[in-house]
């Protein structure tokens, strides 16, 4: 059979000639391209030149060890599937090999059927790995395309309409009667709401986690929190809600992006205000646990039902209890994305009619002994 670019490629690295010979023999006529190497160094060169889908590696070889070969294969191409051939099939060595990236192990001696079967499984695995990567890329591409459509086809024309409306209003300012002015005002409000919604969509689909990580710095957690509290002050004042803070001393700094973290706090403190009745209190507390900074925001508001609780972090989801208040169901979805980009977590506890507590945990780096 003529090999094609899709023909599966298998590399066998083993210092025992008899193993190499029998493996090659077993795979003969099965439509695979097979290459062999008698030690780790030659094997790794072959990984670079032959581009295998599946590599069998003997753990015990003279020269560089099978473990080292496994590690290097991962560095060269983490999508290559490696299976360990081992004469000392102890659980320990197999577990160690898996830790170094091996997909499975094959104890010596093995029958031709066992070898054929594990080969098929290994190649199946490789196919799945490649398919997952291409699906992820496709999803990424769709996300970018959607962001670009929303931005160019919706946001830009709507902004132009808004701009024209502003100038029309200015030009006609002396000619319009009260009723006409009111109509224009209503159109302005609707356009403004639409633009806000579009901006929220863009925010959800364009939080690029990896780009966010590029700007990470060591910051005191009080920095993003203070800025969030400052911007939420007027909203709290409007409902006569008192925001109390309890901040522990000598907190470790966290590694992150202050502006994004501030956005997280704006969202959860904003929700606490929005979903609370007037004249209530919101408590913002910062504590330190043995490995993370824990920020909690507790309100005595309308609460969230048990049916809604599992979904509130999903994009565009709005709980039943809060639907009288304006919102798009985006704040928490974005907050979760941002928190997870900081290797942190965001959790919630709530009792319907009683109140809600959101907790953001962010790990800090331990210094010293």
Ligand X SMILES: Nc1ncnc2c1ncn2[C@@H]1O[C@H](COP(=O)(O)OP(=O)(O)OP(=O)(O)O)[C@@H](O)[C@H]1O
Contacts with Mg ion by CB under 5 A lie at 271, 331
Supply the minimum distance, in Å, between the C-beta of residue 232 and ligand X: 13
Residue closer to ligand X by CB (options 252, 285) is: 285
| Span interacting with ligand X, options 126-134, 222-230, 237-245, 299-307, rule CB under 6 A | 299-307
Supply the minimum distance, in Å, between the C-beta of residue 267 and ligand X: 6
In angstroms, the CA 24 to CA 263 distance is 59
**With DSSP H G I counted as helix, E B as strand and the rest as coil, what are the percentages for the chain, rounded to 5?**
50, 20, 30
In angstroms, the CA 65 to CA 369 distance is 34
Residue closer to ligand X by CB (options 183, 354) is: 354
CB of 40 closer than 8 Å to CB of 13: yes
Q: Which does 103 bind (CB under 5 to 8 A by kind): ligand X, Mg ion, none?
A: none
CB of 176 closer than 8 Å to CB of 205: no
Q: Which does 330 bind (CB under 5 to 8 A by kind): Mg ion, ligand X, none?
A: ligand X
Q: Quick check: 356 binds ligand X (CB under 6 A)?
A: yes
CB of 316 closer than 8 Å to CB of 269: no
| Span interacting with ligand X, options 61-69, 156-164, 256-264, 317-325, rule CB under 6 A | 317-325
Helical segments of 150-177, H only: 156-171
Q: Quick check: 263 binds ligand X (CB under 6 A)?
A: no
In angstroms, the CA 106 to CA 113 distance is 12
Chain residues 196-255 in contact with ligand X, contact rule CB under 6 A: 200
Binds ligand X (CB under 6 A): choice among 118, 302, 360, 362:
302
Q: Quick check: 36 binds ligand X (CB under 6 A)?
A: no
Residue 246 forms beta bridges with which residues? 285
Binds ligand X (CB under 6 A): choice among 12, 73, 106, 272:
272
In angstroms, the CA 299 to CA 282 distance is 5
Supply the minimum distance, in Å, between the C-beta of residue 193 and ligand X: 11
Q: Quick check: 107 binds ligand X (CB under 6 A)?
A: no
- Residue 244 backbone dihedrals phi, psi, to 5 degrees: -105, 140
Supply the minimum distance, in Å, between the C-beta of residue 146 and Mg ion: 22
Q: Rg of the chain over CA atoms, in angstroms? A: 30
Question: Is the bond preceding residue 17 a cis peptide, omega within 30 degrees?
Answer: no
Q: Quick check: 299 binds ligand X (CB under 6 A)?
A: yes
In angstroms, the CA 369 to CA 361 distance is 23
| Span interacting with ligand X, options 1-9, 210-218, 228-236, 316-324, rule CB under 6 A | 316-324
Strand 355-363 relative to strand 345-351, pairing = antiparallel
Supply the minimum distance, in Å, between the C-beta of residue 186 and Mg ion: 25
Who's near 7: CB < 8 A, 6+ residues apart?
Answer: 1, 31, 32, 33
Binds ligand X (CB under 6 A): choice among 275, 337, 341, 364:
275
Supply the minimum distance, in Å, between the C-beta of residue 221 and ligand X: 20
| Span interacting with ligand X, options 9-17, 167-175, 238-246, 265-273, rule CB under 6 A | 265-273
Rounding to the nearest 10 degrees, give the CA dihedral for residues 122, 126, 132, 134: -170
Site string for ligand X, 325-344 (x = CB under 6 A): --xxxxxxx-----------
- Residue 53 backbone dihedrals phi, psi, to 5 degrees: -85, -35
Site string for ligand X, 147-186 (x = CB under 6 A): ----------------------------------------
- 316: alpha, beta or left? (left if phi > 0; alpha if psi -120 to 50): left
What residues make contact with ligand X under the rule CB under 6 A?
200, 267, 271-272, 275, 299, 301-304, 312, 317-319, 321-322, 327-333, 356
């Amino acid at each position: 059979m003529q090999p094609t670019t899709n023909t599966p490629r298998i590399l066998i690295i083993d210092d025992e000639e008899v193993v190499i010979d029998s493996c090659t023999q077993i795979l003969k006529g099965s439509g695979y391209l097979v290459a062999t190497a008698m030690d780790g160094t030659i094997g790794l060169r072959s990984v670079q030149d032959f581009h295998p889908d599946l590599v069998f590696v003997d753990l015990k070889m003279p020269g560089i060890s099978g473990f080292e070969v496994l590690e290097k294969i991962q560095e060269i191409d983490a999508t290559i599937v490696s299976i360990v051939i081992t004469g000392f099939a102890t659980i320990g060595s197999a577990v160690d090999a898996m830790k170094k990236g091996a997909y499975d192990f094959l104890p010596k001696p093995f029958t031709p059927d066992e070898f054929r079967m594990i080969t098929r499984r290994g190649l199946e695995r490789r196919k799945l790995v490649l398919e997952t990567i291409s699906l992820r890329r496709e999803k990424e591409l769709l996300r970018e395309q959607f962001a670009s459509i929303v931005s160019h086809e919706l946001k830009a024309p709507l902004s132009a309409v808004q701009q024209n409306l502003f100038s029309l209003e200015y030009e006609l300012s002396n000619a319009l009667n009260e009723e006409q002015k009111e109509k224009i005002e209503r159109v302005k409000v609707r356009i403004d709401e639409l633009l806000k919604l579009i901006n929220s969509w863009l925010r959800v689909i364009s939080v690029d986690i990896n780009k966010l990580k590029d700007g990470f710095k060591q910051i005191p957690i009080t920095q993003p929190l203070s800025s969030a509290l400052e911007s939420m002050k007027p909203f709290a004042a409007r409902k006569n809600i008192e925001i109390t803070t309890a901040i522990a001393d000598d907190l470790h700094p966290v590694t992150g992006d202050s502006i994004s973290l501030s956005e997280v706090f704006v969202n959860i403190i904003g929700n606490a205000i929005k979903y609370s009745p007037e004249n209530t209190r919101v408590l913002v507390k910062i504590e330190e646990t043995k490995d993370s900074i824990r920020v909690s925001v507790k309100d005595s508001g309308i609460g969230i039902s048990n049916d809604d609780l599992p979904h509130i972090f999903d994009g565009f989801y709005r709980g039943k209890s809060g639907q009288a208040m304006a919102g798009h169901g985006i704040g928490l979805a974005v907050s979760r994305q941002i928190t997870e980009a900081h290797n942190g977590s965001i959790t919630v506890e709530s009792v319907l009619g009683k109140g809600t507590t959101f907790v953001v945990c962010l790990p800090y780096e331990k210094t010293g002994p």
